[in-house]
Amino acid sequence: MTGWRIVIGADDAGYEYKELLRALLEDDPRVAGVVDVGVDADGHTPYPQVASEAARLVADGEADRGLLVCGTGLGMAIAANKVRGVRAVTAHDSYSVARSVLSNDAQILALGARVIGPELAKTLVDGWLGLQFDPQSPSSAKVDLIGEIEKEESA
C-alpha cells in the first residue's frame, strides 16, 4: 500500500466537517490523494447524489475509500450502499469503525455532523486510516456472501 486514495463528500449539513476532515487527510502521510466531490460552501446537493458520486469512484477503482458526512451519516451510507460492490457504514465509535474495515471490508465510512463532535470525528478518521482488511481472515468468506446477495438481487 502506497497510500490511500480517498474520496470525500458531504451535503450542506456535513460541509464544515468535510472541510476539517479533508485538511486532516491532506496532512496525513498515509493518504496519497484526496478527491472532493462537494458540496462547496454554498452547495445544497442532496446527500444521495453526493454519496452515489463518491461510491461510484470507489466501485470503479478510482478511489480506495470514501469518507462521507451528512447530518446523521445514515442517508449517505444508505445511498452509497446502492452502488454495486460498495460496502458503506455509519459508525461513531472506534470499535465499530475498526470492525467495519476488519470484519466487513467496508470501503466507505459515513459520519454524522449532528451526532458527534469534530474532535471525535477526527479521532475516528485517524484510526480508520490505520486499518486494513485482511483477505486471508475468516471474515473474508462472509464479505463474499454480501457480494452473493448483490448477484442474486440483480439476476
Active-site residues: which are they? 70
Cβ proximity to ligand RB5, 100 vs 105, nearer residue: 100
Least distance to ligand RB5, CB of residue 96, Å = 17
Question: CB of 90 within 8 A of CB of 112?
Answer: yes
Dist. CA 109–CA 130, nearest whole Å: 14
- With binding defined as CB under 6 A, does residue 100 bind ligand RB5? no
Least distance to ligand RB5, CB of residue 90, Å = 9
Least distance to ligand RB5, CB of residue 13, Å = 4
- With binding defined as CB under 6 A, does residue 121 bind ligand RB5? no
Q: Which residues between 136 and 155 bind ligand RB5 (CB under 6 A)?
A: none
CA distance between the termini of the chain: 34
Dist. CA 130–CA 6, nearest whole Å: 13
- With binding defined as CB under 6 A, does residue 11 bind ligand RB5? yes
Question: Distances in Å between the alpha carbon of 72 and those of 43, 54, 56, 106?
Answer: 18, 17, 21, 18
Site string for ligand RB5, 41-80 (x = CB under 6 A): ------x----------------------xxx-xx-----
Q: What angle do CA 153, 140, 30 make, to 5 degrees?
A: 110
Cβ proximity to ligand RB5, 47 vs 128, nearer residue: 47
Instruction: Tell me which residues touch ligand RB5 (CB under 6 A).
Output: 11, 13, 47, 70-72, 74-75
